[in-house]
Amino acid sequence: MAKQFDLTIEKRKRSWCICAGVSILAKHRTEEAAKKDLEKGKGFYEYWAGSVSVNVENTPPRIVDLTDKI
């Protein structure tokens, strides 16, 4: 079952981004533009935040040692 991540607006490097966890869903030049886009497309971004690609990107990596199995 997919986990739903909260949508946030964060400053990442030189852009204002709409984020779901560590995933960047959209980049904007100003914070105001990011807020307007999030208000306008909130349903779309909520749907995207629950997608498989966002869930995989937000999952911590797990290293499996296959040499013990041989």
- Select the more confidently predicted residue: 8 or 2: 8
C-alpha neighbours within 13 Å on the C-beta side of residue 32:
0
- Residue 38 CA from chain centroid, whole number: 13
38 and 28 Cβ atoms separated by less than 8 Å: no
Q: What is the pLDDT of residue 43?
A: 95
Q: What is the pTM of this model?
A: 0.80
Q: 37 CB contacts (<8 Å, ≥6 apart)?
A: 18, 26, 28
Span 8-37, average pLDDT: 97
Chain mean pLDDT for the chain: 91
Tell me the domain boundaries of the chain: 1-29
